[in-house]
Amino acid sequence: MVKDNINLNPFLEPSTIVLNSNAPDCGSGQVQSKICSKVTINFENVGKLLIDGSLLDLEMVN
């Protein structure tokens, strides 16, 4: 799902914990790095992934 109105990329920094609501089986993930819209996230169940943050429905975890 592409989010048209909310872009979390400005808020994503290394160590931010996120969830991919489109793939809850991935588990929570820790942001490792961010360059423009490309975000490297280390998910607890699937490992490290390089994703385009503008194309995913990421939720920040408190």
Structural domains for the chain? 9-60 (2.30.30)
What pLDDT is attached to residue 7? Answer: 57
Give the tens place of pLDDT for each residue, 21-56: 889 999 999 999 999 889 999 999 999 999 988 888
Output 54 or 6, whichever has higher pLDDT: 54
Q: Is the pLDDT of residue 8 over 90?
A: no
Give the tens place of pLDDT for each residue, 9-27: 678 899 999 999 889 999 9
Contacts of 23 (CB under 8 A, 6+ apart): none
Contacts of 10 (CB under 8 A, 6+ apart): none
